[in-house]
A and B are shown apart, each in its own frame.
Chain A
Amino acid sequence: MKYSRLIFALGALLGFTLLVPNILPQYLVRVLIVMGINIILVASLGLSNGFTGVFSLGHVGFMALGAYSSGILTLSVSKKLAYLPDLPGFLAGYNLPFLPATILAGLLCAAVAFLIGIPLMRLSGNYVSVATLGFLVIVNNVLINAETLTRGARTFTGIPDFTTLPWVVAWMVVTLVVLSRIAYSPFGRAMRATREDGIAAQGIGIQVLPTRLIAFTIGAFFAGIGGALYAHYLVSFSPATFYIAMMVTQLTMLVLGGQASLTGATLGVVIVTVLSELLRNLERGFDLGFVKLPAVFGASQIALGLIFILVMVFRPQGLFGDREIKFVESKVERNERPVPDHL
């Protein structure tokens, strides 16, 4: 009884994802895939930026690591010979299926996040943002210069196109379930306490550094997963794909939706994706019979920017702030959460 609604919802979702590619145009399926990947990335970004208060600008760095590592792991042996002839022997001789490669990519990112987090998580406020930005810059430069592994600044190509809508939706569900379990557990409460007041959190016995480190590491794991899925969706990419522009897009989605809310992160992605697709189609110009609009290229970006400004003026905490739809929170926690006043 307790899980029946959940099972029903998951079943419906599964049916939908299996059906959709057959009935929807290819264009919409691709939009849905990117949206799902972005939900994984933005929700996991929210774990550190929103729930723990470590405003990281390095999330895309982990995404890049995930994309490249899973790309290298899955590339067929013959393609490795063609594209990456100087690959070290233990990588050159075999390739992995999609799932293990994705998980390995996530684990690699988690390991890197743990190591760099030990010094970085001691910082707070703007300092941790700048330091994580430094990490993104380093990753970008390593990818450009590690030619034997990445083909450098040239396009890394030949990656199998494993990413399908069911894969993305499955990973998205896993991500959201795991993150909501963490964010609304006693550990999640400790995470939020370190965000609110580090000294007070220490005063009641919460260890600030390990708490932040764990949140950062888990976030990086899912960034790696998202990166891997994105790699097998794009099939070819370069280090420039995973850089400042992408970071800004993801941060916008998160801040717009509400940083300390998984619902907010999800809806931020949906809203930004839908709006930019709609506006992009509109800016080509359209004819409604009585009015005829000429094509104004670039107008969609301006409109999108204006919407962001308006949201921040009227709802600086983002659309959801730190609220969730009831579905996300466990029964016990729900009674303790703020009563929604205007949702």
Chain B
Amino acid sequence: MSETLLKIEQLEVNYGAVRALKNVSLEVKSGEVVALLGANGAGKSTTLRAISGLVKAKSGGITYANQNIARLNPTQIVALGVSHSPEGRRVFPGMTVLENLRLGASQRNDKENIQADIDRMFEMFPILSERKTQTAGTLSGGEQQMLALTRALMNRPKMLLLDEPSLGIAPLIVRQIFATLAELKKTGTTILLVEQNVNIALNLADRAYVLRTGEIVLNGSASELRLNSERVAQAYLGGGIETQDSRAA
């Protein structure tokens, strides 16, 4: 829990003329779960995409395991042990569950352990085992999210970037997925989690940052933010309105 695994300094990302991130700085320590909260368009997904190299930063630094990764391509970043489970799941719909999982391991060198890891993923989510020769497009939303998560895990990541694993999924499945994430946390996987569901995110996370229109407006430990839901809601919305989520917290 001590050394910093990921450090972002004054990150700025533009999409054409639109500035998506301005001056974002954050850090994630090894073994920590950090939540990135914020409304739509706040820049949460962009932050993850910048880390995994899918978008290039205009300026600022991204340091992972004491190495500057801001100029590396996605392949190199995946090979360093950073896995990105993207927003909207993005499984390969025409390919089977097994093919999706094998693809997740495509940057690994220890081919002999891959089958054992696939079995481990099936233990984690037995439903995927039943569906292993089905094409991913035929799975339900929840099953696809399980597949997206396990596909990312097939890279044996040191750092897992998760983009809205609860998006559009039945509450029961969300609970199952977050229970699995809690297990992963215990095994020491570092997670940077983007979520709209503040409540469930703060229950899993150690710390959280709240983004609004491309800037970090609030950060603190999860327990502190859970108790101070008013401030989270304010940071979220830019006003004093209490949301359903924060009331529940």
Contact = CB atoms under 8 A, between A and B. Distances in A.
Interface of A: 186, 189-190, 192-193, 195-197, 199-207, 260, 322, 335-339
Contact of B98 (A200, A207, A322, A335): A335
B73 interface: yes
B95 interface: yes
A339 B152 CA distance: 25
A198 B174 CA distance: 27
Contacts of B73: 207
A86 to B, nearest CB: 48
B90 A197 contact: yes
Contacts of B83: 204
B95 A205 contact: no
Given A190-B103, A204-B104, A196 B74 contact: no
B84 interface: yes
Nearest to A206: B106
A206 B90 CA distance: 14
A196 B106 contact: no
Given A204-B103, A204-B104, A335-B98, 16 more contacts: A189-B102, A192-B92, A192-B99, A193-B95, A197-B93, A200-B86, A200-B90, A202-B74, A203-B90, A204-B83, A205-B75, A205-B107, A205-B155, A207-B75, A336-B99, A336-B132
A195 B95 CA distance: 10
A193 B92 contact: yes
B196 interface: no
A260 B98 CA distance: 18
Task: Give the 5 A-B CB pairs with smallest separation, nearest first.
Answer: A205-B78, A196-B92, A200-B90, A205-B107, A336-B98
A119 B90 CA distance: 26
Contacts of A193: 92, 95, 103
A117 B102 CA distance: 27
Interface of B: 52, 54, 73-75, 77-79, 83-84, 86, 90-96, 98-99, 102-104, 106-107, 132-135, 151-152, 155
Nearest to B134: A338
A205 B107 CA distance: 6
A295 B37 CA distance: 75
B95 A203 contact: no
Nearest to B74: A202
Contact of A196 (B52, B93, B102, B151): B93
A202 B107 contact: no
Contact of B106 (A186, A260, A339): A186
A335 B133 contact: yes
A202 B106 contact: no
B78 A186 contact: no
A196 B132 CA distance: 18
A202 B75 CA distance: 7
A196 B94 CA distance: 7
Contacts of A196: 92-95
Nearest to A192: B95
Contacts of B77: 205
B93 to A, nearest CB: 6
Nearest to B105: A204
A284 to B, nearest CB: 44
B103 A199 contact: no
Nearest to B101: A336
Contacts of A339: 133-134
Nearest to B152: A204
Contacts of B132: 336
A131 to B, nearest CB: 23
Contacts of B96: 336-338
B79 A205 contact: yes
B9 to A, nearest CB: 23
Contact of A204 (B95, B106, B133, B134): B106
Contacts of B90: 197, 199-200, 203
Contacts of B151: 204
Nearest to B93: A196
Given A203-B74, A204-B152, A206-B75, A336 B103 contact: no
A51 B155 CA distance: 24
A88 B107 CA distance: 48
A214 to B, nearest CB: 15
A192 to B, nearest CB: 6
Contacts of A197: 90-93
Nearest to B148: A200
Contacts of B84: 203-204
B78 to A, nearest CB: 3
Contacts of A201: 92, 103
A337 B96 CA distance: 6
Given A199-B86, A203-B86, A339-B133, A186 B75 contact: no
A207 B107 CA distance: 11
Nearest to B98: A336
20 contacts: A186-B106, A190-B103, A192-B94, A195-B94, A196-B94, A199-B54, A199-B90, A200-B91, A201-B103, A203-B52, A203-B90, A206-B103, A260-B94, A335-B98, A336-B132, A336-B133, A337-B96, A337-B133, A338-B135, A339-B133
